[in-house]
Amino acid sequence: MATYLHEEHHIFREAFRKFLQKEAYSFYADWEKQGIIPREFWRKMGDNGFLCPWVDETYGGFSADFGYSVVINEELEKVGSSLVGIGLHNDIVVPYIASYGTDEQKKKWLPKCVSGEIITAIAMTEPGAGSDLAGISTTAVKQGDYYIVNGQKTFITNGIHADLVIVVCKTDLSATPPHKGISLLVVERGTPGFTRGRKLEKVGLHAQDTAELFFSDAKVPAENLLGEEGKGFYYLMEKLQQERLIVAIAAQTAAERMFDLTKRYVKERTAFGKTISQFQTVQFRLAEMATEIALGRAFLDDVIEQHIARKDVVANVSMAKWWITEMAKRVSSEGMQLHGGYGYMEEYEIARRYRDIPVSTIYAGTNEVMKMIIAKHLGL
């Protein structure tokens, strides 16, 4: 059992699990058909203290430690991967405001982020720039008390629901190297010149709203600058460690869930007069899956513990992100195969898991980028 989780974390997990049993599990299939998680669910999460519990009490949170974030992300993933947008809000976007925002910005936005009145997103990716953040082309030119923003973002998680979007943009086009000209601007719903494109249709994560965002002479108050101008790239580098850790936590949980589904199925399904779990080939495949999952959990728990201790574990987080997401993909494929024809049917959870997990190897930095980071830390 993870040493960073204590009795209060387990009590919290039980309370959250009961909440999800009542408010999420039975509705998830409908949310997938609707293509979005209702705002009402977000508000219920906030009302029950499940949004950003780590936020300082001054701004409406509980000053909870990261262990609570781990519990929330694990339990949300057990319901379904489309709830990833809540983890993004809780542990990826809102921390930017808490870390780099002014006291006025925190007072204005954080309490509503905790209550669920405000849903957040972060806009990094562009049609022509993904993992290469220095290559973004969205610009923000300061004119008096405003920044005039022009550009386009795509694949934005929570893009439809978002009331606040942290937009990665270039405020200094002449900066050398280019990443020194990047800043973070908080763009609010209703900002003139800010529009949303279509809700994108994805292979998986059907209930998660992902959208294109457009900025055409969008007029953003200068007071919405997050932190210092030109420091945006460095802020992103500081926060990407936790973002990638959240992805690894979700992928590990998904792998554990898929294994449980598969083990249960092979013990019930019969062929040639016995359960298919009695065939050695099936036993060996389950043994291999169980071993990889156990290795992933042990490594992940160690990385989480170091992250809680505020150690620099960029390389280890990159290792966890790439290896665990790839492992989860292998588990999903094996799980579907061992379900036979039923594994290809949408009514079986393994089918949904199979289509939901691949994107985890792409977002928060592709696994190829993770290997580049690891190589750099190896001095290569």
Catalytic residues: 243
Query: Token digits for 1?
Result: 């059992």
CB proximity list for 234: less than 8 A, separation 6 or greater: none
Q: 200 near 29, Cβ under 8 Å?
A: no
Q: CA separation (Å) from 39 to 31, 168, 183, 259?
A: 11, 25, 29, 31
Calculate Rg over the CA atoms of the chain: 21
CA–CA dist 368, 269 (Å, integer): 38
Per the rule left: phi > 0, alpha: psi between -120 and 50, beta: everything else, 193 is left
Distance of CA 379 to the CA centre of its chain: 29
Relative orientation angle of helices 232-268 and 66-79, to the nearest 10 degrees: 50
- Cα 28 to Cα 20, 23, 34, 94, distances in angstroms: 10, 9, 10, 25
Look up residue 323 and give its DSSP letter: H
**Helix axes of 7-23 and 66-79: crossing angle, nearest 10 degrees:** 30
User: In angstroms, rounded to a whole number, what is the distance separating the alpha carbons of residues 62 and 59?
Assistant: 9
Q: Which two three-digit tokens encode residue 48?
A: 């029950």
Residue 251 in contact with residue 78, Cβ under 8 Å? no
HSE on the CB side for 40, CA within 13 Å? 5
Give every CB contact of residue 91 below 8 A, 6+ residues apart in sequence.
54, 69, 73, 242, 243, 246
CA dist 187 → 61, 192, 223, 288, 344 (Å): 23, 10, 11, 47, 42
Two tokens, residue 327: 């492992």
